[in-house]
Structure 1
Amino acid sequence: MEAIGMVETRSLVAALEALDTMTKAANVQLVDLKKVGSGIVTVIVTGDVAAVTSAVESGKTAHNRTGGELISANVIPRPHTDLSKIL
């Protein structure tokens, strides 16, 4: 795992739109779609650092098409190996 990217929205539809945009924008793979609660959903993808960065940037704007709210977005390049156990 070279990088982990996360986009968190307040709406399942916005999260799915972000995921669709992210996977079309760059060569990334879905790790998980976490439903946090209160309508907050986090999309987690992995891939090489450049691809994940590009995907997260694309995913950050995708929520606008659905009326969802972007809560947070982050890229972790070269994460520690123990982090994959949590995901």
Structure 2
Amino acid sequence: MPRYEAIGLIETFGLVFVLEAADAMCKAADVELIGYENVASGYISVIVRGDVGACKTAVEAGVKAVQDMEGGNLYSSVVIARPHDDLEKIIERYKIQNLSS
């Protein structure tokens, strides 16, 4: 399993906003979309990983994309550089499974 230098997360209120954020994140930098989670009552988080600079660029682009939407509702965002190995246990839970295999 490759070792990633960072993870980036954005949390919004609503599926449309999180999809816009994820699209902007993946287009803005060389990051891997890990997955998403409907956290509670409509709050949805999206997770990407890659090197620190790419994650920072991706999160900034995703935040801007949500803020530029009418009614865009950004709850929070974060980039975690050099995450502890144990965070992989959490990331695995939210990983998008390949449905074609």
Q: Using structure 2 for the length normalisation, give the TM-score.
A: 0.82
Q: What does 1:28-43 align with in structure 2 at a 5 Å threshold?
A: 28-43=31-46
**Residue 68 of structure 1, CA deviation:** 2.9
Q: Which has the higher contact order (CA 8 A, sep 6+)?
A: 1
Partner AA of 1:67 in structure 2: G
1:77 aligns with 2:81: yes
Aligned residues: 87
Tell me which structure has the larger Cα radius of gyration: 2
Q: 1:65 maps to what in 2?
A: 69
Q: Which runs of 4+ in 1 moved over 6 A?
A: none
Q: Using structure 1 for the length normalisation, give the TM-score.
A: 0.95
> Gaps spanning 5+ residues in structure 2: where?
92-101
1:50 aligns with 2:53: yes
Larger proportion of strand: 1
1:86 aligns with 2:93: no
> Gaps spanning 5+ residues in structure 1: where?
none
